């Protein structure tokens, strides 16, 4: 049974893949397939906030009333578009054979769009599923969300004796198993996120970050197409790459402007995906953007980067950044932030698999053959006789026969991105 906190997943996808995308029943199945889990459509439940008929009608009246202030009309039109998109999502889930948990979509103060009751209804659905499972200990619950408000529901399922996993892109998902004894984690890797968001792997995630890093690192003007207005700035595009240009630039939507990059923009809260910041004239890389090298993996989502003799830990989407990769980091804040890779680091395993051009974003499954010291074990990769050292294994100590999803970071070393996986028969 899989429970998807849809809005939480959409937020994760926007941050890690560089573009918002709504998951579907089929994309949830494909994403969990990277961990060897086979999910039936009827076992997928997704939360969707839907507008009440009265709220929808009131918004439609305001949007059509020319006597209302322009801002009120725009807010109403935005609410109608949001409500329409959510209604379409719910319809697709049902058509695919999945289940829908219906929250309430409403207009809040200042034109904000709010989703109400979703967390409570999702928690109740998890608790009900755990209760109804009874003595069927073969049932597995997967919560696709990093929202800690749902932690009590996970604890209830664990108390009921069901194997329960939390799947999320946030590196902090690893701590769920430490706070809740027996809780499993699935740290969504690059290819799983691309599958979940239904976006091509070569136009999202690390590949897109690499394009941002290279654009910022190379001075000189380039052609950009203006696609929309963002508050006081222009949103521009060049292929799959997006950039922010100052509103003072004389342009219209659809126009081609020639500008140079001079930094990155994370948005007001600095939590978004890095966009290229543009301006006129010949620009250069700001001193706060520094080139470094990945030297160590603390976990699948956290690496150590060395810049001018100084090392710091940086959060990164699991995969792709193998040791030795040259990267661009933003050092302007109290903590460094990864912009993207500047060059690929390649290596070939004994099985002849070539890594470094995105292949490391794909999860591999290793079966433990021997426990090593600490959070490490010797494991054999599925599909061959190659042995690797699996490091940073979350949860309890590994035992021979246990299976873990992992990502290679060198020819003989991998980092675990899951706790012990269930045996699939």
Residues 28 and 158 in one domain: yes
CA distances from 118 to 5, 121, 122 (A): 8, 5, 6
Do both 34 and 158 map to the same domain? yes
**Given 197, 230, 254, which residue is the final one in a domain?**
197
Bridge partners (DSSP) of residue 213 are: none
Question: Over 90: is that where the pLDDT of 320 sits?
Answer: no
pTM, two decimal places: 0.83
**Is residue 356 in a domain?**
no
Nearest alpha-carbon partner for 404 in 385, 388, 423, 420: 420
Residues 6, 136 within the same domain: yes
- pLDDT tens string 364-376: 888 999 999 888 9
Cβ count within 10 A of residue 307: 17
Beta strands in 288-417 (DSSP E): 289-299, 302-307, 310-315, 326-330, 337-341, 347-348, 354-355, 364-371, 377-381, 387-391, 403-408, 413-416
Angle between helices 151-159 and 118-133 (to 10 degrees): 0
Q: What percent of the chain has pLDDT over 70?
A: 90
Residues 107, 16: one domain? yes
On whether the CB atoms of residues 199 and 19 are closer than 8 A, the answer is yes
Once rounded to an integer, what is the mean pLDDT over residues 307-312? Answer: 88
The answer to whether position 303 is within a domain reads no
Query: Which of 153, 182, 197 is the endpoint of a domain?
Result: 197
What is the C-alpha separation between 4 and 197, in angstroms, rounded? Answer: 13
Q: Please check whether residue 239 lies inside any domain of the structure.
A: yes
Q: What is the CATH number of the domain that holds 27?
A: 3.40.50
Q: What is the mean pLDDT of residues 261-267?
A: 83
**What number is the average pLDDT over the span 276-304?**
80
Instruction: Round to whole Å and give the CA distance between 352 and 91.
Output: 45
Residue 85 and residue 152 in one domain: yes
Q: Are residues 176 and 234 in the same domain?
A: no
Number of domains in the chain: 2
Quick check: is 418 in a domain?
no
User: Is position 66 within any domain?
Assistant: yes
Same domain, 110 and 247: no
> What is the tens place of the pLDDT at every residue in 140-158?
899 999 888 898 999 998 8
The answer to whether 404 and 366 have CB atoms below 8 angstroms apart is yes
CATH of the domain at 246: 2.40.50.140
In a domain, 183, yes or no: yes
Contact partners, residue 30, CB within 8 Å, separation at least 6: 195, 196
Q: Give the mean pLDDT of the chain.
A: 83
Residue 66 and residue 193 in one domain:
yes
Distances in whole angstroms, Cα of residue 126 to Cα of each of 35, 65, 168: 21, 43, 17
Measured in whole angstroms, the distance separating CA 336 from the mean position of its chain's CA atoms is 19
Q: Is residue 93 part of a domain?
A: yes
pLDDT tens, residue by residue, 11-25: 888 877 777 789 999
Model confidence at 68, in pLDDT bands (50, 70, 90)? confident
Q: How confident is the model at residue 361 (pLDDT cuts 50, 70, 90)?
A: low
Does residue 63 sit in the same domain as residue 105? Answer: yes
Looking at the fold, whether 24 and 169 belong to one and the same domain comes out as: yes
67 and 175 part of one domain: yes
CA dist 217 and 225 (Å) reads 20
Determine, yes or no, domain membership for 285: no
Q: Are residues 149 and 233 in the same domain?
A: no
Domain residues for the domain of 241 are 220-279
Q: pLDDT band at residue 345, thresholds of 50, 70 and 90?
A: low
């Amino acid at each position: 049974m899989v429970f998807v906190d849809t809005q939480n997943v959409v937020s994760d996808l926007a941050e890690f893949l560089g573009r918002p995308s709504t998951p579907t029943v089929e994309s949830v199945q494909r994403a969990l397939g990277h961990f060897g889990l086979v999910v039936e459509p009827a076992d997928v439940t997704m939360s969707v906030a839907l507008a009440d008929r009265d709220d929808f009608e009131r918004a439609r009246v305001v949007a059509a009333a020319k006597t209302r202030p322009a801002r009120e009309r725009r807010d109403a039109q935005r609410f109608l578009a949001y409500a329409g998109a959510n209604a379409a999502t719910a319809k697709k889930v049902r058509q695919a054979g999945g289940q829908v948990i219906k929250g309430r979509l409403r207009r809040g103060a200042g034109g904000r769009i709010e989703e109400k009751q979703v967390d409570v209804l999702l928690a109740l659905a998890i608790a009900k599923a755990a209760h109804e499972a009874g003595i069927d200990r073969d049932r597995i619950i997967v919560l696709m969300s990093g929202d800690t408000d749902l932690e009590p529901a996970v604890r209830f399922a664990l108390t009921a004796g069901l194997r329960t996993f939390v799947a999320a892109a946030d590196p902090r998902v690893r701590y769920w198993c430490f706070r809740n004894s027996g809780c499993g984690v699935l740290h969504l890797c690059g290819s799983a996120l691309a599958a979940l968001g239904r976006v091509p792997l070569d136009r999202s995630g690390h590949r897109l970050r690499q394009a941002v890093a290279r654009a910022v690192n190379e001075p000189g003007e380039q052609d950009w197409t203006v696609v929309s207005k963002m508050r006081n700035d222009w949103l521009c595009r060049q292929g799959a790459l997006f950039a922010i240009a100052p509103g003072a630039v004389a342009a219209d939507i659809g126009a081609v402007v020639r500008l140079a990059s001079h930094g990155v923009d994370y948005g007001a809260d600095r939590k978004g995906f890095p966009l290229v910041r543009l301006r006129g004239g010949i620009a250069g890389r700001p001193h706060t953007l520094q080139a470094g090298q990945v030297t160590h993996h603390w976990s699948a989502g956290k690496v150590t980067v060395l810049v001018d003799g100084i090392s710091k830990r940086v959060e990164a989407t699991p995969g792709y950044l193998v040791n030795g990769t040259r990267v661009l980091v933003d050092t302007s804040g109290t903590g460094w932030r990864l912009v993207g890779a500047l060059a690929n680091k390649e290596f070939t395993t004994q099985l002849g698999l070539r890594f470094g051009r995105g292949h490391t974003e794909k999860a591999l499954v290793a079966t433990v053959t021997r426990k090593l010291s600490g959070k490490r074990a010797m494991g054999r990769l599925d599909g061959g006789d190659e042995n690797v050292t699996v490091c940073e294994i979350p949860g309890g100590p590994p035992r021979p026969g246990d299976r873990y999803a992992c990502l290679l970071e060198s020819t003989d070393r991998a980092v675990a991105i899951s706790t012990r996986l269930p045996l699939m028969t």
